[in-house]
Amino acid sequence: MKTDVLIVGGGPAGAASALFLKRQGIDSLIVEAEDFPRYHIGESMTGAAGQLLRDLGLEGEMTRLRFPVKCGVKVFGKSSAGNWFVPVRGRGADGNMFDAETWQVRRSEFDKMLLDKALDGGATLIHGKATRPVIRDGVVKGAHVSMRGGGQLTIESEMLLDCSGQSTWLANLGGVTGPKYVGAYDKQIAVFSHVRGAIRDSGTARDERKDNTLIFYKEKYHWAWFIPIDDETVSVGVVAPSSLLPKGESLHSYLTRELPELHPELKRRLPVLDLVEEVRAIPNYSYQVRDFCGKGFICIGDAHRFVDPIFSFGLSAALREAEFAASVVRDWLGGKNRDEANPFAAYQLFCEKGTDVLEDLLDTFWEHPFAFSVCVHNKYRDLLTDTFAGRVYEHEHQPNVAIRDFRRLLGREEERELSYLNGSAYSIPIGSRYHPERAPLWEATPGESQAA
Ligand SMILES: Cc1cc2nc3c(=O)[nH]c(=O)nc-3n(C[C@H](O)[C@H](O)[C@H](O)COP(=O)(O)OP(=O)(O)OC[C@H]3O[C@@H](n4cnc5c(N)ncnc54)[C@H](O)[C@@H]3O)c2cc1C
């Protein structure tokens, strides 16, 4: 079987890639291992993610599916003096800001809707699991697929997009991408479920709207989320250093014990703990893959990098990288940059710089919480509202002066500049302060397949 573009993974990165490629007149074939609808974590969107969905013409679908409207994120600190709110705001072409909205989503429904739209637009879906890439003369030329109903299929492609999420399909196989490194929040675990019967806010001010994201801060690296995903259901999760999860305690017991203990404002909102979804956990979610683009392939979204879930940037990065990839894929298919060592080096650097902005915001939140809240409240209110909204790329005037101040505070301004200047495109500090040896999770060894 042959296709111009093969997309591995039909989640948001994969489905959005197909939709944006279609706008360039390019058809694609998506290989997805799971049956949709399927559960997935990642339910709160940034303003930029919401805007991208509007740009795709999906506002009507989002409304039809009755996804809750989010006006901002409210953070509850250790005391009420530490509470703050960041509204969702857009920025017009004239540079002025305006109140905007985005959505919270039940991922099973949202991901299915997006994939269905991609299929309506002409993409083809293959139910199966990509096992190995096809590589010829150092160029990725497709993938071998283990079909859901049994049997093997080889799909030849001019371009492969790895949108496989946290399973980081290509990086795990070794030899195609660079190595995968642990990220700063690798020693964390998230434990989560859905509840009914939670008390929602009910005010009319933007920071009191019933469907906003709420974050509860207990200690450094120890927090909880509260994300309404429909009129009755709220997604709740606790994130903590993995060492705090008692050995032998079940996830269910841990979550139901932690939720009422973590913060009085959270306890007040959960008078009963009626869990209506399996309790799941994701440990070690923070990583970065070097050289995630190359001849015939690009990794998009979680397939190459995830930092920290606290401010809901995952979907935003996945969707926006999918958008940016469409034109460079079109150029490649048109024969451009074929002789370059990395035909997608500029795209790669562009995406890395965007996520570096997020990483610097997140690291400053954890490392310098007081300075961070002063900047959010007063010093750089609008500039940080931009960043929280997911406007983190160069053409969105990033890194702005707030992010550059954060870099100075973190002592990494020079390192960032150097890494960009020498074109390495790698985030610093890769492997993070928790891993001073900066050892990759595994080194890419051509032809060798390694487990995660
Ligand atoms: C604890 C936690 C909380 C989070 N909260 C938020 C949040 O509130 N907001 C937010 O925006 N983000 C959040 N995220 C991040 C968010 O979940 C991801 O960034 C987002 O899902 C990335 O989308 P994706 O399409 O790259 O990957 P995914 O959504 O994971 O999709 C990948 C798809 O690829 C398929 N696949 C994998 N391997 C193969 C293969 N070999 N062959 C075929 N198919 C394959 C999978 O079945 C899957 O459907 C959170 C993350 C964590 C860990």
The full set of domains in the chain, from first to last, is 2-45+107-184+285-344+430-442 (3.50.50.60), 188-276 (3.30.9.100)
Fill in the amino acid letter for 304.
Answer: H
Ligand 1: list residues with CB < 6 Å: 8-14, 31-34, 40-45, 129-130, 163-167, 169, 190, 282, 285, 301-303, 306, 309, 312, 314-316, 318
How far, in Å, from the CA of 314 to the mean position of ligand 1?
Answer: 8
Q: Whose CA is nearest to atom 49 of ligand 1?
A: 11
Minimum mean pLDDT range among 254-258, 398-402, 407-411, 417-421: 417-421
> In angstroms, what is the span from residue 316 Cα to ligand 1's centroid?
11
Question: Nearest residue CA, atom 39 of ligand 1?
Answer: 164
The number of the ligand 1 atom at minimal distance from the alpha carbon of 129 is 42
Please identify, by atom number, the ligand 1 atom nearest to the C-alpha of residue 34.
47
| Mean pLDDT of the region 310-335 | 98
The atom number, within ligand 1, closest to the CA of 190 reads 1
Q: How confident is the model at residue 435 (pLDDT cuts 50, 70, 90)?
A: very low
Distance 107 CA to ligand 1 centre (A): 10
Residue 119 CA, chain-centre distance (Å), reads 23
Q: Residues near 171 by Cβ (< 8 Å), separated by ≥ 6?
A: 177, 179, 180, 289, 292, 299, 303, 304, 444
What integer pLDDT is reported at residue 40 of this predicted model? Answer: 98
> Could you identify the atom of ligand 1 that is nearest to the CA of residue 13?
25
Distance between Cα 413 and ligand 1 center (Å): 30
How much of the chain, in percent, has pLDDT values that exceed 90?
Answer: 85
Triad 13, 95, 379: Cα angle to 5°: 90
Measure the CA–CA gap between 215 and 362, rounded to whole angstroms: 14
Closest C-alpha among 246, 34, 25, 227 to residue 126: 34
CB 344 within 8 A of CB 421: no
- Report how far ligand 1's centroid is from the alpha carbon of 319 (Å): 11
Distance of CA 44 to the CA centre of its chain: 10
Distance 301 CA to ligand 1 centre (A): 8
Task: Report CA(96)–ligand 1 centroid distance (Å).
Answer: 33
**How close is the Cα of 397 to the center of ligand 1, in Å?**
28
What six digits make up the tokens of 247?
Answer: 């050995």
SS3 track for 294-328: ECCEEECHHHCEECCCCCCCHHHHHHHHHHHHHHH
Confidence band, pLDDT 50/70/90 cuts, at residue 423: low
**pLDDT of the residue at 210:** 96
Q: What confidence tens digit (pLDDT) does each residue in 201-230 have?
A: 999 999 999 999 999 999 999 999 999 999
Protein residue with least CA distance to atom 45, ligand 1: 9
pLDDT (tens digit per residue) in 347-400: 999 999 999 999 999 999 999 998 999 999 899 999 999 999 999 999 999 999
Rounding to the nearest 10 degrees, give the CA dihedral for residues 104, 105, 106, 111. Answer: -160
Q: Which residue type does 306 have?
A: F
Name the 3-class secondary structure at 412: coil
The closest of 193, 198, 189, 195 to 279, measured between CA atoms, is 193
Amino acid at 99: D
Nearest Cα to 326, choosing from 103, 21, 49, 102?
21
Cα–chain-centroid distance for residue 435?
22
**Which tokens is 156 given?**
């030849």
Residue range 62-81: average pLDDT?
95
Q: How confident is the model at residue 415 (pLDDT cuts 50, 70, 90)?
A: confident
What ligand 1 atom has the least distance to the C-alpha of 318? 26
Cα–Cα distance for residue pair 351/318, rounded to 1 Å: 10
Amino acid at the residue 412? R
Distance of CA 169 to the CA centre of its chain: 16
| Mean pLDDT along residues 131-141 | 97
Give, using CA atoms, the residue closest to atom 18 of ligand 1: 314
Query: So what's the pLDDT on residue 278?
Result: 98
Buried b (16+ CB within 10 A) or exposed e, 179-209: bbbbbbbbbbbbbbbbbeebebbeeeebbeb
Cα 119 to middle of ligand 1, angstroms: 19
Q: Which of 238-252, 320-334, 426-440 has the lowest mean pLDDT?
A: 426-440
Q: Please give the DSSP secondary-structure letter assigned to residue 375.
A: I
State the Rg of the chain over Cα: 21
- Reference 71, options 108, 40, 107, 98; nearest CA is 98
Q: What is the mean pLDDT of the chain?
A: 92
Residue nearest to atom 38 of ligand 1 (CA): 164
Q: Which residues contact 228 (CB under 8 A, 6 or more apart)?
A: 68, 104, 198, 200, 210, 211, 212, 234, 235
Q: What local confidence, expressed as pLDDT, does residue 429 receive?
A: 52
* pLDDT, tens digit, 9 for 90 and up, residues 8-52: 999 999 999 999 999 999 999 999 999 999 999 999 999 999 999
Contacts of 313 (CB under 8 A, 6+ apart): 46, 307, 358, 390
Query: Which of these, 423, 426, 159, lies nearest to 294 by C-alpha position?
Result: 159
DSSP string, 241-310: EGGGS-TT--HHHHHHHHHHHH-HHHHHH-SS-EE-S--EEEE---EEESS-EETTEEE-GGGTEE--ST
The fraction of the chain above a pLDDT of 70, given in percent, is 93
CA distance 20 to 1: 23
